[in-house]
Amino acid sequence: MKIFNYMEKYGYEQLVFCHDKTTGLKAIIAIHDTTLGPALGGTRMWNYDNEEDAIMDVLRLARGMTYKAAAAGLNLGGGKAVIIGDAKKDKSEEMWRAFGRFVQSLNGRYITAEDVGTTVQDMDFVNLETDHVTGVSAASGSSGDPSPKTAFGTYKGMQAAAHEVWGTDDLKGKVVTVQGVGSVGYYLCKHLHEDGAKLVVADIDQASLDRVVKEFGAKVVEPDAIYDAECDIFAPCALGAVINDDTVNRLKCKVVAGSANNVLAEDRHGDMLQEKGIIYAPDYVINAGGLMNVADELKGYNEERAWQTVSTIYDAIARVIEISKRDNIPTYKAADRMAEERIEKIGRVRGNFIRR
């Protein structure tokens, strides 16, 4: 693997390998771009098959965070960390504190948080060695469960997409199919029910289904049948890669807008949605509410301010659609262009020379 060639191609700034013999820590921190501010991104703990897989994962995730933060209008860059190991067996206070020391050594260039395989307790241990961490316990100033914010942001983005299609934010009477009604999906259903939307839902967890049926009168369909349901809006809120060769031509909707990550199996499926006249709200833009919420912790968490920030996802999706029409490109490309334009403009502003 030619790491420097890859870093040069995609504009990475730093790749840090961290090893602690005493605790067995094997961590990699990737900082993609800090034009807008320090790199924020969670720490993932995973039992990778090999070190090259870990490197590629952390690089891919860090770059994704740059675009997500830029599109969200945050003054943050993109970074990520991975720890090679079994999250069920290999954790210890000492390991997390050793990792915290490495984070501290970057002097604020990288701010960590929870991710796959990591918990609030883990971040509390990291916090003993560095202040450059978010997603800690409430006693340490955390913002708590991000699911309600992620759901609210998804709802606002859905309204923006609806306005483009139907000329109104009002979702009353619209049929919305929600794929996955766990934490985020549940709160999204709550907003939609309050708006008077008709809900069709699918999930593999019966308790989650029972909850939304009881509280919101949702209609349940089998997991695979969700793609064939007649609806106005399809909201994927669980698995990634759900827009693929098998499903894209089965959709009977005008809008795809949900909280799941990596909704498109491949970029070309975004092209196919556009060809079918379906508005796609790009995942990393519409699901940024959780990131916005945790980013507020860096300023001393204020919940009212966090809710207000998350509400701007409406404007972000509207801007993506505007760029899509301006440049005649699919919305997934327009989202990247929006992020890149912001990074480029702020980079030039911050490049202005100030004599001291």
* Residues labelled as active-site residues: 80
**Whole-number CA gyration radius for the chain:** 21
- For residue 60, what are the CA distances in angstroms to 65, 79, 195, 283? 9, 10, 37, 16
Is residue 58 within 8 Å of 80, Cβ to Cβ? yes
Query: Looking at the chain, which runs of residues are DSSP E strands?
Result: 14-20, 25-33, 39-40, 43-46, 77-84, 110-111, 175-179, 198-202, 219-220, 233-236, 255-256, 279-280
| Residues contacting 118, CB < 8 A, separation 6+ | 42, 43, 44, 45, 87
Is residue 213 within 8 Å of 206, Cβ to Cβ? no
